[in-house]
Structure 1
């Protein structure tokens, strides 16, 4: 659909009043993530900071590691 309307950059997608609305993105969707993580880590104890993403499971956690 984005190709049909000649949109080549990032877009934001939201649900509003039972409709899917697509907005042109004003920036890269991951812009600012590094700063947000840095602030989050500073506000946590060292133990919590080390496990910042630890509670989010993924397939890598379920597979056996090979070194």
Structure 2
């Protein structure tokens, strides 16, 4: 089965001030964030983006192979 992501996005729009759930996955779902240093680097970047107001989160969770 081929991924049909484009079809999933039909009719969707983005609006400022709305709440969105985002998920990102590592390449081939490799458990990169099992490594403490890698996980800490991601956490530092999220916090830096929040401090610069480029990003505003309610909460987030970092899993071994993805981020919510």
TM range (shorter): under 0.3
Structure number with larger C-alpha Rg: 1
Greater share of residues in helix = 2
1 or 2 for the larger relative contact order (CA 8 Å, sep ≥6)?
A: 2
Give TM-score, length-normalised by structure 1. 0.26
